[in-house]
Amino acid sequence: MFRLLFIDDSKLDHIILDKLIAGIEDFKPVSHSYDGEDALKSLTDNPADCPDVIFLDIRMPRFDGWDFLEGFRDLYPALPVKPLLYVFSSSIDPTDRERALSYSYVTGFFSKPVSRPVLEQVLTACIERSKT
């Protein structure tokens, strides 16, 4: 079973993800964070509890996805498990995609909201990675 951390300020998006993931047995219940700073602090304080997958929203108040990605840069090398990190955004600006994918530890970029096909794609990536 794969652990997923969802970082997004939208409660509605958290509800949508929970409903979508409920029927996928290979994912454990989702860990939720509504703020990038809280999520980064939790990962820094408990690196052994790092999830297999992180879904990160870019547009959040106070400490956004870009801030998280900058802070995660220092944390990533020390993590015992290297999570698959997917950036999600409602932005149609192609530079957001380019910027997100410029971080070596970002696995992919998807448009919001999260969909069932995206979850299946992420699950396939988790399974493939677990074989190595």
Query: Of 120, 85, 122, 83, which Cα lies nearest the Cα of 100?
Result: 85
Range of the domain at 85: 4-130
Q: 125: domain CATH number?
A: 3.40.50.2300
Q: What is the pLDDT along the chain (132 residues), one digit of tens a residue?
A: 899 999 999 999 999 999 999 888 888 878 999 999 999 999 999 998 999 999 999 999 989 999 999 999 999 998 998 999 999 998 888 999 999 999 999 999 999 988 899 999 999 999 998 887
- Cα distances from 4 to residues 93, 95, 99, in angstroms, run 26, 26, 23
Domain count along the chain: 1
* Its pTM surpasses 0.75: yes
Q: Which amino acid is at 56?
A: L
